[in-house]
A and B are shown apart, each in its own frame.
Chain A
Amino acid sequence: MLSAFFHSFLSERIKLRRSLLGWLILCGGSFVPAIMLAVRIRRQQQLPNWHRLGVFWEKHWIESWESISIMILPLMVVLLTTLILQVEYRNNTWKQVHASPQTWGTIFSAKLAVVLLALLQLFVVINLGLYLAGALPSLLVGAGGGISSSPIPWIRMLARDANYFVECLPIVAIQFLLALRFRNFLVPIGIGVAGWILSLVLINTSYNFLIPYNYTGIDYLISTGHRSGQNLPTTLGTLACGTFAVLTLVSYALYSRQADKG
């Protein structure tokens, strides 16, 4: 069973070669770091002061994650998931996939794993990008006396990353369900963007957890002290995991019971 999953996973990865996925991850992941880099270079006279701060890296990270958590992550998950699942509808290949010797569970889990791997790759690009956005300005313009020597809070950053990753999962589950179901990719993208906008509208209300498109943003606001998080029935991580588990089960039930498989 595990080997069936592994083979299916490899086959899914081949399907994404030469696709837009790599570029999407690269561009989406480096978008905010690139802006940060440009801002730092433009305000280079402030670099020495900045670098002297003992908490340079921490501040850099916190500033950058604001738009990443509220905008980039939700939208990127919507795009990544849709793009990955769209490959079968676009090429009319569901029928070939479903006529291959794989259980519905294998096909479903291999596709889900590919989406999660893409999300992980996005996190890697974002983190590398942020490091470069912090390190490069002084090297490029020669001001600020080299890379800031303030400590990089690795452990805390990785823990934050892990939180954000988990908080993306509900979006993965919803988009996965939609993208499996609808041949027209505008449906999952449209619903995804609408869900994200709705979550932005609600983000400063006590109902913000009801639309699970912005748990990352809520987490950011809580961790930076902008919101208390007292409205939440439980922790965001638990909410995210629960929503993900339930929606994934629903999604699998719908998928495996589909009468017409291409």
Chain B
Amino acid sequence: MSEWAIETCGLSHRFTPTDAVLQDIQLQVPTGSLYGFLGPNGAGKTTTLRLVLGLLRCQEGSIRVLGEPLESRRVALLRRIGSSIESPSLYAHLSSVENLTVWQKVFGCPARRVGEALHQVGLHDTGGKVAGQFSLGMKQRLALAVALLHQPELLILDEPTNGLDPHGILEMRDLLIRLNRDHGTTILVSSHLLSEVERLVTHVGIISRGTLRFQGPLASLAERNQADRQLTLHTSDNPRALEILLTSGWSARPEQGRLFVQGVSSIQAGALNQQLVMSGLTVFELTPVGQNLEHQFFDLIGD
């Protein structure tokens, strides 16, 4: 088995000659990982995924999927990939079973998979409703069932939680984790929000304005820029604390009844606290900011 389930090399794309939508994307999705592909609106997530599925002709760079070149092995590879791109692709005039049967015929998988897939996504009881009458969440689930139908090795899901209620998001997360753990399915999910996939993914790739800003295990995202942490302080005597901090060379300023200190790593935060306490101050509050992943994320997608 190859190391990467998806590997792109120097992938660039432009819809019009003037503006490059993707520039030199080196996507590396480890086999067996749960990969979060993150970026704001218009970053190029969908475009990247469409290229990986062969829905857009590759203009520049190369794409390998499951260890094989996409261009020459497209049909054989698609047999091993399940996907849902952008809005759910469903036949609005067909029921959930009929929608799945359309794909069951194409993939030639056993008919029992239709019921199983519906069960997996919690959509076994839609009565006589056709997909056009489904709620957005139900449509997302059915689209997921379509992607799961043929038990693919690689799942590519573009914003699968879009339109799901909190309960639905939890269920989706559990389902994806189970697929990943029990069947070893490699899963790529795209999202706007890190917080949405933070508890799901093992790896992240962060894209903004067509360039990949970060890629690696989730843990390494948290470790990034250790030195560049900030914290807010609240003590029994803030003006005096500010004086102490400034004289010891910290860059600090008062802000909304608190003190705001910049460039403090977690070890330094301890020393700083000790220094204040030794000076006879009581520290009510010492809150690191910018230490959470969301801050790292916004830091990365900004310019």
Contact = CB atoms under 8 A, between A and B. Distances in A.
Given A7-B108, A99-B81, A103-B75, A92 B102 contact: no
Interface residues of B, number: 33
Interface in B91-133: 91-94, 98, 101-103, 105-108, 130
Interface stretch (A8-16, A48-56, A139-147, A217-225): A8-16
Interface in B60-107: 75-79, 81, 83-87, 89-94, 98, 101-103, 105-107
B78 A100 contact: yes
Nearest to B150: A101
Contacts of A91: 89-92
Nearest to B84: A96
Given A87-B91, A93-B91, A95-B86, A100 B98 contact: no
Interface string A82-107: 00000100111101101111110000
A120 to B, nearest CB: 21
B55 interface: yes
Interface-centre pick from B54, B55, B107 (highest chain A CB count, 10 A): B55
A261 B56 contact: yes
B105 A102 contact: no
A19 interface: yes
Given A18-B130, A101-B107, A95 B90 contact: no
Interface string A6-48: 0110110011011100000000000000000000000000000
Contact of A15 (B53, B76, B91): B91
B46 to A, nearest CB: 10
B55 A98 contact: yes
Contacts of B90: 91, 93
Contact of B105 (A11, A96, A99): A11
Nearest to B58: A259
Interface-centre pick from A14, A17, A19, A93 (highest chain B CB count, 10 A): A14
A87 B92 CA distance: 9
A160 B262 CA distance: 89
B55 A11 contact: no
A99 B85 contact: yes
Contacts of A87: 91
A7 B53 contact: no
A259 B56 contact: yes
Given A7-B108, A95-B55, A99-B53, A14 B102 contact: yes
A153 interface: no
B78 A8 contact: no
A95 B75 contact: no
Given A18-B94, A100-B107, A11 B102 contact: yes
Contact of B76 (A17, A93, A100, A101): A101
Q: Which 7 A-B pairs have the closest CB atoms?
A: A96-B89, A11-B105, A101-B79, A101-B78, A259-B57, A93-B89, A10-B105
Interface of A: 3, 7-8, 10-11, 14-15, 17-19, 87, 90-93, 95-96, 98-103, 259-262
